[in-house]
Every structure is written in C-alpha cells, then in structure tokens.
Amino acid sequence: MNRPLASLETPALLLDEQRMDRNIARMREQARRLGVAFRPHVKTNKSWDVSRRLVDDPEGPITVSTLREADYFFEHGVRDILYAVCIAPNKLDHVLGLQARGARMSILVDSVEAAHIVAERLRAHPQGREVGVLIEVDSDGHRSGVKPEAPELLAVASALKEGGIEVRGVMTHAGSSYDCRTPEELRAMAEQERAAIVLAADRLRAAGHACPVVSVGSTPTALAAENLRGVTELRAGVFVFFDLVMAGVGVCQVDDIALSVLATVIGHQREKGWTLLDAGWMAMSRDRGTSGQPVDQGYGVVCDTQGRPMEDYILVGANQEHGIMARRPGSAGSDDFLPVGTQVRILPNHACSTAAQYPAYEVVGTDGNVRETWPRFSGW
C-alpha cells in the first residue's frame, strides 16, 4: 500500500522512519550508558505511533507539556505521566480526574504560594495524596523554578509537608542549552544542570525530605552529559526528530533530521532568483530558531525528494501559504529554476513548532514512499 510522494497534496509533513529510529536508539543508549531511567518528553511528537517506540513499558514513564497530551497518552495505556509545567490551579481538577481514573500523575510547583494551593486541593481529594509533587529547580535562569541554593526551596517543601503532602522530588530543564555552540559549552551546561539538581536534592534530604526523584533533561544536555551522578531520570523530546536548531547547536547532523515538509513549486520571480513554493510560514511555523545561530537557515533548508539538501537553497522568506526558495544571501552561482509542479522537502528550524501545524505524519520508508499515516494532535 506504499504511496509515492508524488501522490500527496502539499504541504504535507514527512517523517523519515529510519532516521527517527536511529535517533531514538541513540538517546535510549545514552540513558542506559548514564545509568538513569528515561522519561521521554512527548510534546514534540504528540503521537502514540511515535511515542510507543520511546518506552519499554507501555505504561510509561513519559513527560507531557499539556494535559491534552496526558489525556491522549492515558487513553493509549500510559499511566506514569509527569506534567512538566508548573501547575495552574485551574488544571488541578483535570489532574485529579486522571489520577482517579488510574493514571500516576506528577506535577510541578516552584513557590510557597503554589505549594499551599496544591496541598489544600490534593488533601481534599480521595486520590490527591497519590499525585507526585515535584519542585522545579532553576538551573540556568531561562524560565521558572527555584534556585537550588535558595531558602525558598526548603520553604516550598515545608509548605507541602505542612499541608500533608510529601515532596516527591526535584526536576530541572536547562533550556539554555539551545544557546550552546561548542561541545565544551554543552558539556559544561549538562554538568551545570546536574550539579544544580543534585544540590537541590541534597539540601532537601538534609532537611528531612526523602526526595526520591531527581529529574533532568533537554536534548542537548542529555546527549552531552558525561555522567549523571545523583540523577534518577532523564527527559528529552526533540531528539526523536531533531531539527536545524539542534544541528546548529551541534548535537546532530543535518542528515539526522527525520522531519521535513513536502512542498511543490508553484511559480517563480526569476529576476530575483525566487522559486515560489506552496509551503509558507503556516506550513513551516513562524519559528526562526536558527536566526541567532552562526548559520541562519531562514525558514528551512530545501532538499530534493530523497531528502538531500540542495546546495545553498533555503526558504529566504515566507508568506502565510507561500514559501520563497532562493540561494542563501551571499551565495554565488546561477539559478537553475525547478519547473512548476516539482516537489521538494524542507527541513524545519524547530521540530516542535513545525509538527504542531499538521494533523498527521506521512511516514516515509526506506524505499522513499509513504508507508503509513500516523495521526497527531495539537492544542490544549
């Protein structure tokens, strides 16, 4: 039932199965080597067809970024779910509902204020005390979390305990690793992430909290870490597909990128060197994550239908449904314009944001044809 790419209406989201499997094997081996449990983040893929390849046990563990992900993966049999965004009070009923139906939920807090709210609501619910409450630790200053050395850390744990809830552990996400440029910077950031979370766990234990869970992760730090002493679990998500940002960070090669957008040539502005495609920013997302990197890839790198980059061609611009393919600024050479109707594949800056624009993955097998369509979802 394999279908050629030429049979697809464009734009369409292609997933190279072989590359994906290679990326997954690499990360799972890394977690094994580091001696920690692996709790994959499913926010990038939002698909059971993908995520089932990330776990040995269909019950998990997994990490989610939305409760819609929690609902969906619970329906597919996953039970051990960490919702890795500090909890908003309006989501507690939803979390408790999942717990009552058999999920083993974990949530985050990073303030005494939130700890009081959470403790009160969990205590009032029959399954509330079974929900794991982790404290988010700020290891790199890029978003939420308490500083590992701050008095607030112990105050949050105490507020939970006074409310009848034992802190389950600590977690951190060194999202600043996306700004690293060299292997040395990556290793240093991974060690910074590890050291911060271990310091937080040690302080909590010294204050009498058991703190069994010590959780770290981001794709760059997970792949760069030399050791994770004191850590119990590793989280990562974007590695499944990789993308141009990750290639720019240096944790993958361009030919590891498993996700691409299939597009079609619809016209030209020859005097400008432009080839117009039917994939604009709605198809690629507005993510320009490589704009601050040494190599700015525009809205994506243009490849032929076999996925081989076409030298120097990127999407230099995008309208809502129009992509402008041209040689990258400063490139020499004369243009050999592709005819109207030609298909190309575009590698995305950021897999999370590009994939979010599509209802499904068209899974491309080793013969270059589409062998299956895997649904995915977006939203909350």
Cα(158)–Cα(154) distance, integer angstroms: 6
Compute the chain's Rg from CA coordinates.
22
DSSP 8-state symbol, 380: -
Query: Which residue number, 371 or 377, has a Cβ lying nearer to its own copies?
Result: 377
Q: 261: which strand partners? A: 13, 346
Distance, in Å, from the CA atom of 355 to the CA atom of 259, rounded to the nearest integer, reads: 8
Shortest distance (Å) from residue 37 CB to its own copies:
23
Of 15, 54, 82, 117, the one binding its own copies (CB under 8 A) is 117
Is position 155 an interface residue for its own copies (rule: CB under 8 A)? no
What are φ and ψ of residue 370, in 5° steps? -80, 120
Q: For residues 34 and 266, which CB has a smaller minimum distance to its own copies in the complex?
A: 266
**Which of the residues 330 through 349 are near its own copies (CB under 8 A)?**
339-341, 343
Contact pick of 48, 73, 281, 313 for its own copies (by CB under 8 A): 281
Amino acid at 180: C
Is residue 179 at the binding interface for its own copies, with CB under 8 A as the rule? no
SS3 45: coil
Angle subtended by helix axes 151-162 and 183-206, to nearest 10: 50
For its own copies, the closer CB: 126 or 379? 379
Cα 245 from Cα 238, distance rounded (Å): 10
Query: What is the C-alpha separation between 298 and 245, in angstroms, rounded?
Result: 11
Which positions from 45 to 84 touch its own copies by CB under 8 A, shown as an x/- string? Answer: --------------------xxx-----------------
Half-sphere exposure of 63 (CA within 13 A, CB side): 26
For its own copies, the closer of residues 303 and 344 by Cβ is: 344
* Residue 192 interacting with its own copies (CB under 8 A): no
**Is 215 one of the binding residues for its own copies (CB under 8 A)?**
no
| # residues contacting its own copies (CB under 8 A) | 61
Rounded to whole angstroms, the Cα distance separating 94 from 301 reads 40
| Residue of 359, 365, 368, 375 interacting with its own copies (CB under 8 A) | 359
Tell whether residue 114 is a contact of its own copies (CB under 8 A): yes
Residue 254 within binding range of its own copies, rule CB under 8 A: no
d(CA 167, CA 118): 11
Tokens 């002493």 belong to which residue? Answer: 229
Q: 358, 361, 363, 364: which one contacts its own copies (CB under 8 A)?
A: 358
Helix/strand/coil percentages in the chain, nearest 5? 35, 25, 40
The answer to whether 124 contacts its own copies (rule: CB under 8 A) is: no
Under the rule (CB under 8 A), what is the footprint of its own copies?
6, 8-12, 43, 65-67, 85-91, 94, 110-111, 113-114, 117, 138, 142-144, 175, 264-269, 276, 278, 281-283, 285-288, 319-322, 324, 339-341, 343, 352-353, 356-359, 378-380
